[in-house]
Chains A and B, each alone.
Chain A
Amino acid sequence: MSEACTYTADEMMTVMASRLLIDGQVCFVGIGLPSAAANLAVRLHAPALHLIYESGTIDTRPRVLPLSIGDGDLAETATAIVSLPEVFAYWLQAGRVDVGFLGAAQVDRFGNLNSTVIGPYDRPTTRLPGGGGAPDIALHAKQVLVVLKQSPRSFVARLDFRSSPGFLGGSGERARLRVGGLGPAALVSDYGVFKPSVDTQELELVARYPGVEVESIVNATGWPLRVAAHVEVVSAPTVEELQVLRDLQQLTREAHSRPIRLPI
C-alpha cells in the first residue's frame, strides 16, 4: 500500500465533508474544519463553488486556509467585499445562500448546536466563544452541513445552550419558525455521517468510515443512536484527495508562519 493511502480520522472527516458540497452551490463558510473542507472541494470536484465568509468576502478563493474569518487573502481574492450588515441581511437573510457550513462544540440528536457555554449560562464552567454568525446561518441557509469531532461530550443528549437551531425538538417543529432554511442536511464526524430521518428528523447513522464499527459509533454518541437499516461504508480518501488536502495544509502552515513586515 502506498503511503498516501494511510490517513487520519481528521483527514477522512474533512474529505467526507468536502464530498457533500456540490459544484455551483453558494456556500457560507465557517472557520476551521468547514473552511478546510470547502477549500478542498474547490480544488477537487467543485471548482465553481461560491464561497462566502462572514467577513463580507464573496466568491473568495483563498490561496491557503485562512486562520481567521477575515484574513487578507480572503479579501484579495474575492469578487466582491461587502459590509457585515450587508452580508448578513442582503445575502444570507434574503435567501441567497444554498449551504451553511458550521462547526460547534456540541450537537444534539436533532442537529441543534451549542457554541456558547458548557455549564449554566450565567456561571459557565467553560465559556465558549459564542454563536457569532452561526445562529443566523443556521436559520437562513437553505440547508446546513455540520462538521464536528465526535465523542459523548460533543454528541450530547442535552445541549447546555442552544446557540443555533437545527430541528429543535424534531417532528416538524422547525417548520414553525417559518424561515427559508430547511435545517441540517447532514452531520459529518470523524466516525461517519448522520442524516435526519424522514419522520422525526432525528439524526441517524447512514454511513461509516472504513474500519469504524457501528458499535464504536454508538458508544461515541451521548444519546441512544438511531442506526439506518443500511449503513453505507464510505470509500477511503483517494490518493488525489489526500494529496490536495495535505498540500493545502502545508502551504497554509508556511503562509501563517511567514514573518510579517511592519511599515515602522
Chain B
Amino acid sequence: MITTLSAMIASHVRDGDCVALEGFTHLIPFAAGHELIRQRRRDLHLVRLTPDVIYDQLIGAGTARALTFAWGGNPGVGSAHRLRDAIEHAWPQALSWVEHSHAGLAAAYTAGASGLPFGVLRGYLGTDLRAANLSIAEVVCPYTGERLATVPALRPEVTILHAQQADQAGNVLIRGIIGAQKEAGLAAHKLLVTVEEIVERLDAPMNSVVLPHWSVTAIACVPAGAWPSYATGYYARDNAFYVTWDEISRDRQRFVAFVDRYIHGTTDHAQMIGLLRADGLLP
C-alpha cells in the first residue's frame, strides 16, 4: 500500500470522480493536488470545506467541472481569483457549484462516514443558502416536533489527506488542527494519504487521530507535501506565499505560466520545490 504519489494518483483517481482534498488550513494535500494537475485529470467534482489556494490552482488548471464547498477564498488574504474567474466568466471552463455552511458540510461528511443517508443540523435558517442549494431539506424531529435541516451524505469516490506520519504497516497519524479529515476520509470509497515521513512506530498518544491501515487505500511519502500549507511538528504555514499567490493568480497568463513552469515543468514535488527555490519563490 505504500507507493509513490504519481502511482497513487494514476491508479486511484479517474476523470469525472468526486474527489475531496481535505485539511482545514493545516495539512492541505497540496502535492497531491499538483499531481492531479500534472496528470491532467478532467471533469472532477471537487469537494472541500474551504477551497483554499489548492482548489484555486485545480480549478484554474481546468481539472474541475463542479465544486461543493462552504468558503472559497485565500484565507486572510482575499479572493480565490481562479475560482472567481471560473464562476464569473467560465474560465477556463464553466463550473457548477453546491454551497453549504461549514456546519452543513461537516454534517454531510459525518453522515457519509457513518453510512447514513443524510446529516441533520439546526442550520440554514433565515439564509438564502437554503434556496440556493436545493439539496438542503428538512425533517421533523420525531421526539420534539422541531424542524431541522438535512443535508445529503457526502460519499466522495476518493478523499486525499496529508498527515504527519505513517508506520510501515500503513497506519496514519494526524496531529494538530484536524478539521474534518477523519470524517472526509471515512466517508470516501477510497482514501489516499500523503505523509511527511514513514516511521518504524507511530508512538501515537492515546486518543489521537489514527487511521488504521485497513481504512487507508494507499500511502505515499511526500516530505513538505502540504506546502504552502503546513504540518505541525515539521514546518510552518508559508503565509508569505499565500500573499504572493494573490498576485500570481490575479492574472490568467501569470497563472498559466506558474502552472506550466512549476507543475507541468517538473516531474514531482521535490523537483518543484527545488525550482521554486531556484527562482526565489521559496527560501
- The size bracket of the interface on B is 35 or more
Residue of A123, A132, A257 ringed by the most chain B CB atoms within 10 A: A132
> B residues 209-245 with Cβ under 8 Å of A?
223-224, 227, 230, 232, 234-240, 242-243
Name 12 interchain pairs, CB-CB below 8 A, sorted by A. A55-B179, A72-B232, A88-B121, A89-B121, A126-B84, A130-B71, A133-B101, A135-B123, A163-B128, A179-B125, A261-B235, A264-B224
Contact of A162 among B25, B127, B180, B282 (CB under 8 A): B127
Instruction: Give 18 A-B pairs besides A69-B75, A131-B129, A174-B126 with Cβ atoms closer than 8 angstroms.
Output: A56-B179, A70-B26, A71-B239, A74-B177, A84-B179, A85-B110, A93-B122, A93-B123, A130-B72, A165-B127, A177-B125, A179-B125, A259-B240, A260-B283, A263-B196, A263-B223, A263-B234, A264-B224
Task: For the complex formed, measure the closest distance between the CB of B98 and the CB atoms of chain A, giving whole angstroms.
Answer: 11
Is B10 in the interface zone, CB < 8 Å from A?
Answer: no
Contact A136 B102 (CB under 8 A): yes
Contact of A263 among B101, B146, B224 (CB under 8 A): B224
> B residues 112-146 with Cβ under 8 Å of A?
121-129, 132, 146
Question: Could you tell me the distance between the alpha carbons of A129 and B81 in the complex, rounded to whole angstroms?
Answer: 10
Is B1 in the interface zone, CB < 8 Å from A?
Answer: no
Note all chain B residues with C-beta closer than 8 A to A57.
177
Contact of B239 among A132, A161, A168, A256 (CB under 8 A): A256
Task: For the complex formed, measure the closest distance between the CB of B229 and the CB atoms of chain A, giving whole angstroms.
Answer: 9
Task: For the complex formed, measure the closest distance between the CB of B157 and the CB atoms of chain A, giving whole angstroms.
Answer: 21
Question: Could you tell me the distance between the alpha carbons of A113 and B30 in the complex, rounded to whole angstroms?
Answer: 32
Contact B102 A68 (CB under 8 A): no
Contact B240 A132 (CB under 8 A): no
How many residue pairs bridge A and B at CB < 8 Å?
Answer: 201
Contact A31 B127 (CB under 8 A): no
Note all chain A residues with C-beta closer than 8 A to B34.
none
Contact A139 B122 (CB under 8 A): yes
Residue of A76, A84, A116 ringed by the most chain B CB atoms within 10 A: A84
Question: Could you tell me the distance between the alpha carbons of A170 and B177 in the complex, rounded to whole angstroms?
Answer: 38
Contact of B237 among A67, A121, A163 (CB under 8 A): A67
> B residues 235-265 with Cβ under 8 Å of A?
235-240, 242-243
Note all chain B residues with C-beta closer than 8 A to A177.
125-126
Contact B103 A133 (CB under 8 A): yes
Is A153 in the interface zone, CB < 8 Å from B?
Answer: no
Contact B101 A32 (CB under 8 A): no
Contact A124 B24 (CB under 8 A): no
Given known pairs A68-B25, A130-B70, the reply for A124 and B101 (CB within 8 Å) is no
Is A54 in the interface zone, CB < 8 Å from B?
Answer: yes
Residue of B26, B107, B110 ringed by the most chain A CB atoms within 10 A: B26
Contact B106 A85 (CB under 8 A): yes
Question: Could you tell me the distance between the alpha carbons of A161 and B133 in the complex, rounded to whole angstroms?
Answer: 13
Contact B77 A136 (CB under 8 A): no
Contact A262 B273 (CB under 8 A): yes
Contact B101 A136 (CB under 8 A): yes
Question: Could you tell me the distance between the alpha carbons of A156 and B217 in the complex, rounded to whole angstroms?
Answer: 50
Question: Could you tell me the distance between the alpha carbons of A91 and B8 in the complex, rounded to whole angstroms?
Answer: 37
Note all chain A residues with C-beta closer than 8 A to B71.
129-133
Is B35 in the interface zone, CB < 8 Å from A?
Answer: no
Interchain residue pairs A-B with the least CB separation, the first 9: A70-B25, A165-B126, A132-B71, A129-B73, A68-B75, A67-B76, A259-B283, A88-B103, A133-B102
Question: Could you tell me the distance between the alpha carbons of A261 and B177 in the complex, rounded to whole angstroms?
Answer: 20
Contact of B129 among A89, A135, A261 (CB under 8 A): A135
Task: For the complex formed, measure the closest distance between the CB of A159 and the CB atoms of chain B, giving whole angstroms.
Answer: 8
Is A125 in the interface zone, CB < 8 Å from B?
Answer: yes
Question: Could you tell me the distance between the alpha carbons of A75 and B25 in the complex, rounded to whole angstroms?
Answer: 11
Contact B235 A84 (CB under 8 A): no
Task: For the complex formed, measure the closest distance between the CB of A222 and the CB atoms of chain B, giving whole angstroms.
Answer: 19
Contact B132 A121 (CB under 8 A): yes
Contact A72 B273 (CB under 8 A): no
Contact B178 A81 (CB under 8 A): yes
